Amino acid sequence: MRIVVDGYELGPQGAGVGRVAKNILPVLASRREETRFFVLTREIALPFSRQNIQQIVLPSRGGYFRWQNGPFWRACQQLDPDLILAFNYTLPLICPWPSLLFVHDLSLLSHPEWFPPRTARWRRLVLRYSLRRANLLIVPSKATAEEVDRHLKTKKNRVRIIYYGVEDKFNRARPEAVQRWKEARGLGSRRVIGFLGSIFRRRHLPLLVAAVNNLRPEWPDLFLYVVGQDRTYPAEDIASLLSPDWIRWDEYLPETDLPLFYSACEALAYLSEYEGFGLPPLEALACGTIPVVLNRSSLGEILKGMAEFVEETTVEAVTKALRRAITDETRGNEIRRNFETRREMFSWSQAAAKVADCLREIKDKKL
């Protein structure tokens, strides 16, 4: 079997969609040694060591849509695959090949107000076409599966729920390593509340800043560390919001620093109205740090019993949850035990095995 992989989001930083692809592909290839995988990327992505994976770098100008319907589509014509494995929500507009499509969330359809109208309209059209065209859809939560059913309005059973994983590197770092890392970052011995992820309005960063500020009279050394690029729409003045001297903002951290970042935090705040899955809270848990999250969309499903939940988007509610995460050791230990009990549910090896089942299903049943 010959499979072409849309690897546009694969890259050195490996965030978001790219992280899903980079963790699934090597395991998937090891489970299907008879299959050749042609991974089409826009840059040198990963040093794939398996002989049945071939990476092909294609020129990229003008964004993802032009790349997928230009260089990627032409390469597919030449390679003539048995199937396209698409990790990034959409398929080429002309797609005569069978396909397995990852749909990480449906914010574009469920919340169009979060996107610039000029581009959102045609992106929604392409997404709807892709959802209907794909042989099977992979979603990371029951919440996202329900959204797909609602928007597609079809009875075809083409949706498969596959939970994403937590990489083995995410474990509690040694205290001396954490302290060295904090000192290198100018944090010294301060208590740290963390946030990691792209900065969207739906993730309520102003609410987090206000809540941490509320706690500083109790803990004058409390520090907020924000990691992520500003992608707010309509644009917010994030630079001013994060300008106080008790806040540090980095747009990016190296992959090797992430376990240290999570281990350095007293709590990880992820106050998101909407997520298809949400990797950072699980990664924080793997490092022994309690996540504080809004009980919305998939977060309540994925993190049940494994987080401090915030029910209302108020400063008082967030302040209370952060205080519990910092001070309630009994509750914190219970959350950690619950995670360790369920950690195997969030395994990239298990996710890759289920993707392999989907490939087999398409091949055998000609879906």
Which CATH number does the domain housing residue 291 bear?
Answer: 3.40.50.2000
**Residue range 69-114, pLDDT digits in tens:** 999 999 999 999 999 999 999 999 999 999 999 999 999 999 999 9
Question: Both 189 and 336 in a single domain?
Answer: yes
Question: Both 149 and 261 in a single domain?
Answer: no
- The residue range of the domain holding 39 is 2-165+347-365
| pLDDT at position 294 over 90 | yes
pLDDT value of position 353: 97
pLDDT value of position 205: 98
Question: Both 120 and 195 in a single domain?
Answer: no
Question: Both 193 and 334 in a single domain?
Answer: yes
Q: Hunting for tokens 């390679």 — which residue is that?
A: 79
Question: Both 354 and 340 in a single domain?
Answer: no
| pLDDT at position 157 over 90 | no
* Strands of 159-161's sheet in order across: 53-57, 36-41, 2-6, 83-86, 99-102, 136-139, 159-161
| Residues in a beta bridge with 249 | 226
Question: Both 134 and 17 in a single domain?
Answer: yes
Question: Both 236 and 105 in a single domain?
Answer: no
Question: Both 211 and 269 in a single domain?
Answer: yes
**Residue whose C-alpha is closest to residue 24's, from 361, 357, 355:** 355
For residues 198-202, average pLDDT? 97
Contact between 6 and 20 under an 8 Å Cβ cutoff? The reply is: no
268 assigned to some structural domain: yes
170 assigned to some structural domain: no
Tokens matching residue 49: 């060591």
pTM higher than 0.85, yes or no?
A: yes
Q: Hunting for tokens 């992608």 — which residue is that?
A: 231
**Residue range 206-221, pLDDT digits in tens:** 999 999 999 999 999 9
**Residue range 12-34, pLDDT digits in tens:** 665 689 999 999 999 999 999 99
For residues 116-143, average pLDDT? 95
Indicate if the alpha-carbon torsion angle 272, 339, 160, 53 is positive or negative.
Answer: positive
* Cα 165 from Cα 130, distance rounded (Å): 25
As a whole number, the mean pLDDT across the chain is 95
pLDDT bracket for residue 227 (50, 70, 90) = very high
Question: Both 330 and 218 in a single domain?
Answer: yes
